[in-house]
Amino acid sequence: MKFNQYEYQRPDMEQVEVNYTNSIAAVQSATSSEEAIEAVKQVQSLQKSLDTQNQLVGIRHSIDTRDTFYEEESAFWDENSPLIEKWQNEYYQAILTSDYLEAITEYVSKPFIQMAENSMKVFDPKIIPLLQTENKLSTEYSKLLASAAIEYKGETYNLSGLAAFQQSIDRDERKAVTQLSSNFFSDNLDELDRIYDELVKTRNQIALELGFKDFIEVGYLRMNRLDYNREDVEVYRQEVLKHVVPLSEEIFKRQAKRIGIEDLKYYDLNLEYVDGNAKPIGTPEEIVQSGVKMYHELSPETGEFIDFMVEKELLDLVTKPGKQGGGYCTYIPDYKSPYIFSNFNGTSGDVDVLTHEAGHAFQVYQSRWIETPEVIWPTFESCEIHSMSMEFIAWPWMELFFGDQTDKYKYSHLASGVTFLPYGVLVDHFQHEVYEKPNMTPEERRQTWRKLEKMYNPWKDYDGDTYFENGGFWMKQGHIFASPFYYIDYTLAQVCAFQFWKRTQIDQDETAWEDYLNICRLGGTQSFLQIVETANLKSPFEEGSLTAVIETIREYLNGISDEALQTK
Ligand SMILES: [Zn+2]
C-alpha cells in the first residue's frame, strides 16, 4: 500500500472519550500485572490510531495547504488535541499510582515512567493562566520577527530573505544587509525587551508556584533530561571552551585568509568561499537515485529501509505550489511508516535531507517494533545523534552528490559542526544566568550575553555596531524565547556524531556501524547517557571527552589544502 492509500478517518471524539475512560479505569482496577498491562495495551492502540489520523492530516495539509478538506481537518485536530492531552495525563497518573507499576515499567520502559513523572511535576492546574501567558508571549515574539519588512535595493525582504545576501562576495553589501538586520532589532528593542522580561518573570513564577528553586529545574524536566544535571552541563561547557573554541578560532583565521580579508568582521563570517559553497549535481530525481544507491551499498538494513520509503512514496522532497516551507521527518504508527518532507532548493541542504532527515527516519523504522508510542523516538538530544551521525556515516558516498566539490562539502560540513558548538553552548550558558537571576534588568542581560559571547565567540568583531556591541545578538535566537534550554541538545548530539565520524571515517572501526544500528533499534527505551554507553561513545560530561576527537578533526581539516577547496 502506498502513502496516498493510507486511510484518513476523523475519529468520533465521544467514542474516543468512552474508550479512554474505560481503558484508564481498567488500568486502575487491574487485579494482576497481566490485567494492568492488557489495559495499557488498550490505551496504546487508541493512542496509535489517534496519532495515525493526526499525522496523516498534518502531512497532507503541509503538502498542499490549499486543500480545504485537510485544512478543516487540521482545525479539528488543533481544537481536540488539548482534550487528548488531558486524557493522556489521566492515563499517566493511573500508571504511576498503579499497584503493578513495576511490571508496567518493564513493559513500557523506564524512560517512559520518568517522562510521565516529569510531566506531572511541571504541571498543576493552578499554573494554567501562567502557561497561557507564556504561550502568548512566545507567539508575540515570532509575530514580531515575522513582521519584518526590510527595504533593500527597491525590494522588500523578511529576515531570512535578507540573510541570503550575507553570503554576497561584495563586502559592502554584506555589511549593509547585516546592518539592516541589526537595525530591525534595535528599532524593536523596547518591545523585545518587554516580551523577554515578561517571559522570564512568568517562567520564574511558574517554577515558584510548582515548588522549585528556579526555572532551570523546570526547564530540565520539560526537556526530559533523564540522567544528567546542571553540574554535568557545566563540565561540558568547560570542555568546549578548552578544546573547541581554539579550533574554531583557527577555522575562522583560515577562512579570512581564503576569502582574502585581514580583519574578519561579523559580516564576513557567513562567506566561506568566494566561489560559492559546494552544490549537489543533478536533478532532484537524480539526487534521490544517488541516495537509493548509497543506502543499498551502506548496509542491508539501510537498503531495505530506503526501498520501503520509495516504494510506499513516503518522501515528498521537491518544492511545489501550495507546499509548506521547511522540512521534517515524522512517523505514522499504524502503518509503521516514517515520512520525510522537504523543499529542495539546489543547495547542499538537499543532500542533508537524504542523510540527516533520513537518519531520523531510519532510526524510527528500526524501532518500529516498540509498542509504546512515547518511546519510539528518544529524547531530543539523543534523536539528533542518529541524524547527525548518519550525515557522517554517509561520507564515503558524497562524491555521488558533489563530484569534484566533495572536499569542499566535507570541509564545510565538519568545520561548521565545530564552530557551531561554542555558539550552542553560549546560548545555553546565557539562559542559566538569566533564570538564576530572574530580576536582572534587560541591560544587565545584554551585558551578561556580551561577556559570555567574548568567551565563547572571541572571533566576533562587530565593527562598531552598537546594537550587537551592547549584547543584543541573542534576540535573533528564537529558541531563547520559545524553547528554553533546548539549544544545547544539538551540540550534545553533535559531539556524539563527531565520535561516529572518527570511528567510521578515520579509525575504520568495524564495530561502529553495529553500534549505530543498535541505538537505532533501541529508540527511546534508553536515556541519553545509556544510549551513549550502548553506542560505545564517550559521555560529553566527562572531563577530557572531547580531547581526542577534536584533535583528529583538526588534523583532518589541516589535511585538506585550500587549493582543494577551490571549484575546479
Ligand atoms: Zn534533526
pLDDT by residue (tens digit) across 128-179?
899 999 999 998 998 999 889 999 999 999 888 888 888 899 999 999 999 9
CA distance 137 to 134: 5
Q: How far is the CA of 412 from the centre of ligand 1 (A)?
A: 18
Ligand 1 centroid–CA 354 distance in Å is 12
| Per-residue cell: 112 | 517512559
CA of 353 to the centre of ligand 1 (A): 10
Please report the pLDDT score of residue 422 as a whole number.
Answer: 98
Contact 319, 333 (CB under 8 A): no
Pair 218, 203: CB distance under 8 Å? yes
- Burial (CB count within 10 angstroms: exposed 0-12, middle 13-18, buried 19+), residue 529: middle
Sheet of strand 337-344, all strands in order from the earlier edge strand to the far edge = 315-318, 337-344, 328-332
| Contact between 37 and 104 (Cβ < 8 Å) | yes
Residue 413 has pLDDT above 80, yes or no: yes
How many angstroms separate the CA atoms of 335 and 181, rounded? 45
Q: How far is the CA of 386 from the centre of ligand 1 (A)?
A: 8
- 325 CA from centroid of ligand 1 (Å): 16
Q: What is the pLDDT of residue 491?
A: 97
Residue 419 scores a pLDDT above 80: yes
Query: pLDDT tens digits for 8-49?
Result: 999 999 999 999 999 999 999 999 999 999 999 999 999 999
CA 343 / ligand 1 centre spacing (Å):
15
The residue among 182, 394, 415 whose CA lies nearest residue 298 is: 394
Mean pLDDT, residues 50-66 taken together:
96
**What distance in angstroms lies between residue 356's CA and the mean position of ligand 1's atoms?**
6
A 10 A CB-CB count for 107 gives 16
Task: Encode pLDDT of 343-381 as tens digits.
Answer: 998 889 999 999 999 999 999 999 999 999 999 999 999
- 331 by DSSP, 3-state: which? strand
The mean pLDDT of 293-313, rounded to a whole number, is 98
Q: Are 108 and 374 in contact (CB under 8 A)?
A: yes
Asked if pLDDT for residue 252 goes beyond 70, the answer is: yes
* 5-15 CB burial, b ≥16 within 10 A, e <16: ebeeeebeeee
Ligand 1 centroid to residue 379 C-alpha, Å: 12
Task: State the distance from the centre of ligand 1 to the C-alpha of 355, rounded, in angstroms.
Answer: 10
Ligand 1 centre and the CA of 287: distance in Å?
A: 20
Give the Cα separation of 228 and 111 in Å (integer). 13
Q: How high is the pLDDT of residue 564?
A: 82
Distance 361 CA to ligand 1 centre (A): 10
CA of 101 to the centre of ligand 1 (A): 33
Q: How far is the CA of 475 from the centre of ligand 1 (A)?
A: 23
Cα 451 to middle of ligand 1, angstroms: 30
Coil, helix or strand for 332? strand
pLDDT at 81 over 90: no
Residue 567 pLDDT > 80: no
Which pLDDT score is estimated for 568? 58
**Residue 23 CA, ligand 1 centroid: distance in Å:** 34
- Write out the three cell numbers for 196: 523577554
Average pLDDT over residues 415-433: 98
Domain coordinates in residue numbering, the chain: 3-117
pLDDT the model gives residue 46: 97
Q: What is the mean pLDDT of residues 276-281?
A: 91
C-alpha cell at 41: 495495551
Nearest one of 171, 188, 198, 277 to 476, comparing CA atoms? 188
Q: Which DSSP state fits 7? A: P
How much distance in Å is there from the Cα of 562 to the middle of ligand 1?
30
Report field, pTM of the whole predicted structure over 0.85: yes
Query: By the 8 A CB rule, do 359 and 466 touch?
Result: no
Confidence tier at 223 by pLDDT (50, 70, 90) = very high
**Ramachandran angles phi, psi of 315, nearest 5°:** -130, 125
Confidence of residue 202 (pLDDT cuts 50, 70, 90): very high
In terms of Cβ atoms closer than 10 Å to its own Cβ (0-12, 13-18, 19+), residue 18 is exposed
User: Amino acid identity, residue 229?
Assistant: N
pLDDT at 545 over 90: yes
For residue 256 the three cell numbers come to: 579570512
Which class for 329: exposed (0-12), middle (13-18), buried (19 or more C-beta within 10 A)? buried
